[in-house]
Amino acid sequence: MSLLIRHARILTLAGAPRPRRGAALKELGVIERGDVFVQEGKIATVGPELPVPAEAEIIEADGRVLMPGFVDCHTHACSAGDRFEEWDLKLKGVSYAEMMKKTGGIHATVRAVREATRKQLAANLRARLDLMMRAGTTTVEVKSGYGLTIDGELKMLHAIQRAANEWPGTVVPTALLGQATEGDPAEHMRMVAREMLPQVWHEFPGITVDACCDEDGWTVEACVRLLERAKKHGLSIRVSADQFTSMGMVPEALRLHATSIDHLNATTLSDATALAASHTFGVLLPAASFHIGTRYARTRKLLELGGLLALATGFDPGRAPTHSMPFAIALAVRHCGLTPAEAIAACTVNAASLLGLNDRGTIEAGQRADLILLRHRDERLLAFELGDNPVDTVICAGKKM
């Protein structure tokens, strides 16, 4: 199958080294009016007034924006149940900490995940992936983390794998082994590091391991112990840190050469400066701040210092119930100090680089043809407009969805 998208305003995001830093994050590589020819799932040619192959399907852009598909590099989209009880309490003015005590917070999702079958979890995830694709996301990272037992985590990872095999886009699984605890916290954390990690590594070799360090998550010491063991197995590591308080995890994550540190809402200036000088990505998750009413990560200084930045929805049944990357862009521009161009680069070329997928995130010959055609002729409307889907057409691996 071949496609020719004609007369588009093309955001190629090509030319600058990837991943983007500093001023390069604003360079969208715009072709004011051009064509893109797609063949056998890849971008074959980009340029003005390309010849029309006889067998190609023609998509007339008529000046609208054509850009890479969104890459959502941090989600908890595999789950079951709901968190409406804590939402009701929030609407009544109950504090976040008190809500967690009354409802159990994440443990409500843990219980629902345990009651669900692998098939049900995969079906839930597949439905959410379809919603994400309609909003322009063609690559999604999906974490486990609600199992807490060895069998529970493996069930989640197999469900993620099953949904990934059925979805036309790309799913990147992550083993979030250090998110919550049950029973004696110290004993649980030791079990995860000594018993759960080896079994997960055995069944999913090469998978990235994640941990959440915060007051309602794992301690710095426990995260370091888990992540050091993961590194010994040759696995990449990621960390969620400083969502509510700065606990000292950022320097440890940098010492361990974590791929990313996510959230960063409470990160100190000295830690942000160290992060900017490293090869570790900072990942913004503004939808979580919006939903639970906490401070946003202010990342202008990180950008000015040349730090690596990515942007994600953080889709989560309790903290960020959104599948929309355009909504995350709108929040990042309004509350986190990004320009529209920086936000676009952060959830395309940079997010793809974070996930190790250098075959997407730009529009140039040889790249995977994951593309979205917007309703708009100006990409700034991605950040300006609220509450609607700006995506007119999604092309995933060269196929019109």
pLDDT digits (tens, 9 = 90+) for 14-40: 988 999 999 999 999 999 999 999 999
| pLDDT for 251 | 98
Sign of CA dihedral 328, 330, 336, 337: positive
Question: d(Cα 152, Cα 84) in Å, to the nearest integer?
Answer: 23
- pLDDT over threshold 90, residue 119: yes
Ordered alpha helix ranges (H), 306-376: 325-335, 340-346, 349-354
> Which two three-digit tokens encode residue 188?
């649980």
| pLDDT for 170 | 98
- Cα 375-291-394 angle, rounded to 5 deg: 25
* Contact (CB, 8 A) for 240 and 210: yes
Report pTM. 0.96
Weakest-pLDDT range from 153-162, 189-198, 293-302: 293-302
- pLDDT over threshold 90, residue 217: no
Give the fold, CATH level 3, of 71-354: TIM Barrel (3.20.20)
Question: d(Cα 332, Cα 264) in Å, to the nearest integer?
Answer: 13
| pLDDT for 70 | 99
State pLDDT tens for residues 144-183.
Answer: 999 999 999 999 999 999 999 999 999 999 999 999 999 9
Instruction: Write out the H or E segment, with its range, that includes residue 112.
Output: helix 106-115
Cβ-proximal residues to 4 (8 Å cutoff; 6+ apart), any chain: 35, 36, 37, 38, 50, 52, 53, 56, 57, 58, 59
Question: d(Cα 144, Cα 329) in Å, to the nearest integer?
Answer: 25
- CA-based diameter of the chain, in Å? 67
Cβ-proximal residues to 270 (8 Å cutoff; 6+ apart), any chain: none
- Cα 282-340-5 angle, rounded to 5 deg: 110
> Which two three-digit tokens encode residue 8?
């588009």
- pLDDT over threshold 80, residue 334: yes
**How many CB atoms are located within 10 Å of the residue 206 CB?**
9
- pLDDT over threshold 90, residue 313: yes
Q: What is the domain partition of the chain in residue ranges?
A: 2-68+361-400, 71-354
Q: What is the mean pLDDT of residues 273-294?
A: 96
Percent of the chain residues topping a pLDDT of 90:
88
- pLDDT over threshold 80, residue 98: no
What are the two backbone dihedrals, phi and then psi, of residue 374, each rounded to the nearest 5 degrees? -85, 165
Weakest-pLDDT range from 43-57, 99-113, 116-130: 99-113
Instruction: Give the model's confidence band at 100: pLDDT under 50 very low, under 70 low, under 90 confident, else very high.
Output: low
Q: Which residues of 340-371 are buried (b: 16+ CB within 10 A; e: fewer)?
A: bbbbbbbbbbbbbbbbebeebbbbeeebbbbb
| pLDDT for 103 | 61
How large is the C-alpha radius of gyration of the chain? 21
Q: What is the mean pLDDT of residues 51-66?
A: 95
- pLDDT over threshold 80, residue 104: no
| Best CATH choice for the domain 2-68+361-400 from the list 2.30.40.10, 3.40.366.10, 3.40.50.150, 1.10.10.10 | 2.30.40.10
